[in-house]
Structure 1
Amino acid sequence: MITSILILLALTVPAGILYTRKSPQFGGRPSSEDLDRYSRSPQWKDGVFLNRSLTTMDVSLWSMPGLLKEFLSGRKNRQPPEPLIIERLDSDQFHDGKDKFIWYGHSTVLFRVSGKNILVDPMFGPDASPIGPLRTPRFSKSSLDLIDDLPQLDLILLTHDHYDHLDYASIQKLKNKTSEFWVALGLKRHLDKWGVPKDQIKEFDWWEESQLGALRIVFTPSRHFSGRGLFDRSKSLWGGWGIISENRKIYWSGDGGYDSHFSEIGAKYGPFDWGFMECGQYNEKWHQIHMYPEEAVLASQEALVKTAVPVHWGAFSLALHDWTDPIVRFSGEASEKKLKGCYPRLGQIVTVGKEPSEPWWEL
């Protein structure tokens, strides 16, 4: 959320507006044909996509200077004391025939499910902001190099178009590693501008499904917003994903606040073996678009998740809390509520049935 505030502040000057039109990382602008297509979505009203519940943020133009000051001079514990190491991929171990995943920090996860390699929200870049002077640096070094280790991918899934999930530099390196991008409705224009062939991109509205071999994949609702610049707020959709095979069910919550959709998703598609639940970058001012850790535990239970993996932390400081606050609060609440949690190290290969829970963040 803080990235959106920084971008808005920087782009209110004429030079910033010009920058958005010239710099490729801002993505594509919706054409009249795009807008006509979006208008056929049940989620589209009065020229924007909407959440199912009224969703507000307590952030005004007048409050932004104070927020920016607090962000730039906040607590020293918002970043780890030293760079976090991301383990390099052991290809032989990853392809041993068992379902598994690797979390690379924040919301980037590589899955091996039913023999398919699936990458979700590939943000390997060093910074979650497109504005040079307003950096939100990654906790780990040389993360883009990790893409070189990745296997050929059967599919890339994208939940929404915010910079901490859809990264220009990462997509440029990944274009030749896959021929399938399944994305939230409205993201095709960004990938198209970045050189991804149109026939490799499939857009999804909420509850729409498709098959990838034996895998059934569904785009699920979340409570959030979208946009990469001044003029495209909520001009693309946001959501989560369900990945369902004969032997495995995986839920990816996507970014968003707590709402009734978790129970609905659990009833439709659960129970889930693994649930990757947004947990991090929250604040009382934008509580309705980023849930608190305790709510992430509740959401896991309502979605009928058996083993919950908190994500959206461990890579960037995009709010004002300590960098370990999400995992400390989530793990404590999960223990109290008898929810099984999985807390892997960055880059660690996690195999089904061998989910780690050691507190590695206690540096």
Structure 2
Amino acid sequence: MKKYDNQIPTHNEMGFKPLVTMLKDSIKGVANQRPASTINGVFFRQSDTISPSDDPRVTWFGHSSFYLEFEGKRLLFDPMLGSRPSPVSWAGSKRYQRTVPAGPESFTEVDAIVISHDHYDHLDYDSIRKLKDKTPRFIVPMGVRKQLVKWGVPEEKITEHAWWEEVEFDGLTLACTPARHFSGRGLFNRNVTLWCSWVIKGNETKVFYSGDSGYGPHFKEIGKKYGPFDLTLIECGQYDKRWAGVHMFPEQSVQAHLDVGGRLMIPVHWGAFTLAFHSWTDPVERATKAAIKQGVSISTPKMGETVLIHSDHYPDRAWWR
């Protein structure tokens, strides 16, 4: 069975000692690990049409799910729109919000669904099942097709891609680019599918999405080949020194944005679930602080709030406080 690997050595083994320390952390608990009160997002409803002349825009729904509209195309990334990123509905971290800013029913049609890797918090069965008939195209990294076909997605709708492979899509170019992570949805399928970041390039707009990734030299490689970018969506949450090779600390997230040559940064992979031993606001607080220190423009929209990519004005309120 073919297995994939990272560009550089990456340690993410959960041996006996790390598991013991994690158990202790679980018992001890973390202050402010979940919101103390209801989070007020923005209810999203997809517009019926989008024109190539419309301003490019992005809407983040919490964690790493977002909706990208530009040059007449509508792309939905990692649509985890359910209540738990878990193989079962009754266990695992529960979403902070009772009502998701956008559910599958919020969309009438999207031009493509794009997946970064097969983990439960990025590839969600219920979301895909309810969205699969609303799109003609799934764009995924190598190996993920098999999972989608198992869920009822017609094989002809799906294209799989390796790192540095480009796909032309209705006037846009999408490039499957490296990430430093891993894959697997069970005990016996570790790294049998690929994980990736994505470059989305139009005639006038370029966007970079990091997927899940530890910090590494691939960011500078991507910036050199495809940058600069008008917008980056960079993971900045669910980190821990025990798995620092596969998830960045927020300060590294800001550096990754600089490495790829980003103009505006939106921090993602936070705000919806507790998957690590830090407070739920720590990712965005640290990313914002690091961005200010580095002179980086950072947008912190509410979940469901739309950001105009080329605007000089963007949401930057500390709504989580």
Equivalent in the alignment of 1:68: 23
For the pair 1:104 / 2:61, whether they are aligned, the reply is yes
**Deviation of residue 90 (structure 1)?**
4.3
Distance 1:301 1:53, change over 3 A: same
Distance 1:144 1:300, change over 3 A: closer
For the pair 1:197 / 2:197, whether they are aligned, the reply is no
Partner SS for 1:105: coil
| C-alpha separation in 1, matches of 2:18 and 2:316 | 39
Question: Where does 1:154-165 land on structure 2 (aligned, <5 Å)?
Answer: 154-165=111-122
Equivalent in the alignment of 2:103: 146
For the pair 1:316 / 2:273, whether they are aligned, the reply is yes
| C-alpha separation in 2, matches of 1:180 and 1:93 | 18
- CA deviation digits over 1:142-162, x for unaligned, max 9? 339622112410000000000
Partner SS for 1:297: helix
- CA deviation digits over 1:160-184, x for unaligned, max 9? 0000000001001101110100001
| C-alpha separation in 1, matches of 2:27 and 2:237 | 18
Equivalent in the alignment of 2:319: 360
Equivalent residue for 1:262, pick from 219, 230, 233: 219
| C-alpha separation in 1, matches of 2:279 and 2:319 | 16
Q: Is contact 1:89–1:150 with CA below 8 Å preserved after alignment?
A: no
Structure 2 unmatched ranges of 5 or more: none
Partner SS for 1:175: helix
Partner SS for 2:12: coil
Q: Is contact 2:44–2:101 with CA below 8 Å preserved after alignment?
A: no
**Deviation of residue 63 (structure 1)?**
3.6
For the pair 1:81 / 2:81, whether they are aligned, the reply is no
Partner SS for 2:129: helix
**Deviation of residue 71 (structure 1)?**
2.8
Length-normalised TM-score, structure 1: 0.84
Equivalent in the alignment of 1:343: 300
For the pair 1:277 / 2:229, whether they are aligned, the reply is no
Distance 1:190 1:91, change over 3 A: closer
Question: Where does 1:101-250 land on structure 2 (aligned, <5 Å)?
Answer: 101-131=58-88, 134-143=91-100, 146-250=103-207
Aligned AA (1:291): M
| C-alpha separation in 2, matches of 1:275 and 1:132 | 32
**Deviation of residue 224 (structure 1)?**
0.2
Equivalent in the alignment of 1:39: none
Partner SS for 2:32: helix
| C-alpha separation in 2, matches of 1:93 and 1:331 | 34
Aligned AA (2:93): T
Distance 1:335 1:150, change over 3 A: same
Q: Is contact 1:225–1:289 with CA below 8 Å preserved after alignment?
A: yes
| C-alpha separation in 2, matches of 1:158 and 1:66 | 32
| C-alpha separation in 2, matches of 1:292 and 1:177 | 36
Structure 1 unmatched ranges of 5 or more: 1-34, 36-46
Partner SS for 1:135: coil
Equivalent in the alignment of 1:12: none
Partner SS for 1:333: helix
For the pair 1:296 / 2:253, whether they are aligned, the reply is yes
- CA deviation digits over 1:263-315, x for unaligned, max 9? 01001001000000010000000001001100011111010001111100001
Aligned AA (1:361): W
For the pair 1:56 / 2:15, whether they are aligned, the reply is no
Which is richer in helix?
A: 1
Q: Is contact 1:88–1:146 with CA below 8 Å preserved after alignment?
A: no
Distance 1:218 1:344, change over 3 A: same
Aligned AA (1:82): S
| C-alpha separation in 1, matches of 2:16 and 2:125 | 28
- CA deviation digits over 1:6-29, x for unaligned, max 9? xxxxxxxxxxxxxxxxxxxxxxxx
Q: Is contact 1:216–1:243 with CA below 8 Å preserved after alignment?
A: yes
State the identity %. Answer: 38
Q: Is contact 1:126–1:144 with CA below 8 Å preserved after alignment?
A: no
**Higher mean Cα deviation, 91-100 or 340-349?**
91-100
Distance 1:301 1:188, change over 3 A: same
| C-alpha separation in 1, matches of 2:306 and 2:98 | 19
Partner SS for 1:77: coil
**Deviation of residue 93 (structure 1)?**
9.7
Aligned AA (2:56): D
**Deviation of residue 58 (structure 1)?**
5.3
